[in-house]
Amino acid sequence: MELSYFAIVIGAVFVNNVVLAQFLGICPFLGVSSKVETSLGMGAAVTFVMAIASVVAWLLQTYLLVPFGIEYMQTIVFILVIAALVQMVEIILKKVSPALYQALGIFLPLITTNCAVLGVAILMIQKEFSLLQGVVYSVSSALGFALALVLFAGIRERLDFEEVPAAFRGVPIALVTAGILAMAFMGFSGLV
**Distance of alpha carbon 171 from the chain centroid:** 21
Q: How far apart are CA 20 and CA 141, in angstroms?
A: 11
Per the CB < 8 A criterion, the answer to whether 24 and 30 are in contact is no
Does position 110 have pLDDT exceeding 80, yes or no?
A: no
Neighbours of 184 (CB within 10 A): 11
Looking at the chain, the whole-number percentage of residues with pLDDT higher than 90 is 58
Identify the pLDDT of residue 97. Answer: 87
Cβ atoms of residues 8 and 137 within 8 Å: yes
Q: Distances in Å between the alpha carbon of 40 and those of 45, 46, 62, 71?
A: 9, 10, 33, 35
> Residue 1 pLDDT > 60, yes or no?
no
* pLDDT tier, 192 (very low <50, low <70, confident <90, very high otherwise): low
Q: What is the rounded average pLDDT of the residues 134-155?
A: 95
pLDDT tens digits, residue range 162-191? 999 999 988 899 899 999 999 988 888 765
- pLDDT, tens only, 23-64: 898 888 888 888 898 899 888 888 988 999 999 999 999 999
Confidence (pTM): 0.87
